[in-house]
Amino acid sequence: MDLAPLQLDKEEWNAINSPLCSTPYFIGHGTADEKVSVSLRQQMRGTLTQLGLNVTWKEYEDQGHWYKVPDELDDIASFLRDGIGIP
């Protein structure tokens, strides 16, 4: 599509996307993911950080395109309990 990029400063973005900006996010990624490249992972992390989102980011050594048991599942459970308040 031939659309111009959206030009908003951080305050305008936050005003429009208040629920999005106040929601905490957990992102886990394997360092050996064969489907999502390292550069895409880095771009996503940079974009989310620039938008001011509350992101918990975890990388898992030698993990491919799947979740790591038990490490990542334990981290998700901790995030839900401590980060969001789900018992």
Could you give the CA distance from residue 31 to residue 37 in angstroms, rounded to a whole number?
9
Structure confidence by residue, pLDDT tens digits, 8-53: 777 776 677 677 777 888 999 999 999 998 788 888 888 888 878 8
Could you give the CA distance from residue 30 to residue 33 in angstroms, rounded to a whole number?
5
Sign of CA dihedral 13, 14, 16, 17: positive
Q: What is the pTM of this model?
A: 0.71
55: helix, strand or coil: strand
